[in-house]
Amino acid sequence: MKVLAVFSGGMDSATLVWKLLAEGHDVSLVSFDYGQRHRRELQSAAAVAVQLGLEHQIIDLTGLRPLLKGSALTDASVDVPHGHYESDTMKATVVPNRNAIMISIAWGMAVAENMDAVALGIHAGDHAIYPDCRPEFHKAIEVALQLGTDRLGMKLFAPFIRMTKTDIAKLGGALGVRYDLTWTCYEGGEAHCGKCGACQERQEAFRDSGVADVTEYAA
């Protein structure tokens, strides 16, 4: 199948890409620049694409930045919370409706190129904080986009939606994912901070899965 993967440059979507390739799909990648503080992830995304020799487009959505106010990921006046990934303080990292926006654009691109599916790496660890990572959202948006484009057979793959990040790391370890090329940290630095909720979750996933953590941490 021809599959367009929404690719952030992080662990989850990198594992998704390796999985799709292992399954024999014809994969291309799309990333989104929505003014995120951690734009460093886009460099990681590009590095992975080059490593794998895949087509990769970065879509400029910076026009949305002033509108998605109040999220620590896009609003410089809001601090990135340090604490556990699933805690309430991480709600500051919600960008309202981010996944629906990114999925809708990717779906339009996939339709224009006569592709068979869009894939994304949302997983069970995100369910508590991000409503747009939950199975009921996934099913509903897939149906809406099928109807909206008259492509009832087109698919929205989300193979990790009932897996934890530790499960994903385990799978990625087996697939040989180049985690050294990926980026997780929500802070804007040049190395992973090791303190933000996203970094803590990354560390936890490597530790619990038994996969070596080759990340360079600033702390």
Contact positions toward a copy of itself, by CB under 8 A?
Answer: 57, 59-64, 67-70, 95-101, 104-105, 107-109, 111-113, 131-132, 134, 136-137, 140-141, 143-145, 147-150
Residue 68 sits at the vertex; the CA angle it makes with 168 and 88, to the nearest 5 degrees, is 55
Question: Smaller CB distance to a copy of itself: residue 83 or 148?
Answer: 148
Question: Smaller CB distance to a copy of itself: residue 112 or 219?
Answer: 112
CB of 125: closest distance to a copy of itself in angstroms? 17
Question: Smaller CB distance to a copy of itself: residue 16 or 30?
Answer: 30
Distance CA 155, CA 12 (A): 19
Cα dihedral sign, 147-150-151-153: positive
Question: Smaller CB distance to a copy of itself: residue 37 or 98?
Answer: 98
Residue 80 · residue 184 · CB < 8 Å: no
CB of 141: closest distance to a copy of itself in angstroms? 4
| Pick from 125, 145, 97: nearest CA to 209 | 125
Question: Smaller CB distance to a copy of itself: residue 134 or 155?
Answer: 134
CB of 55: closest distance to a copy of itself in angstroms? 12
Distance CA 58, CA 185 (A): 19
CB of 102: closest distance to a copy of itself in angstroms? 9
Instruction: State the first-to-last Cα distance of the chain, in angstroms, to the nearest integer.
Output: 43
Question: Smaller CB distance to a copy of itself: residue 155 or 178?
Answer: 155
CB of 71: closest distance to a copy of itself in angstroms? 8
| Pick from 200, 198, 119: nearest CA to 160 | 119
CB of 52: closest distance to a copy of itself in angstroms? 21
Cα dihedral sign, 22-25-28-29: negative
SS percent in the chain: helix, strand, coil, step 5: 45, 15, 45
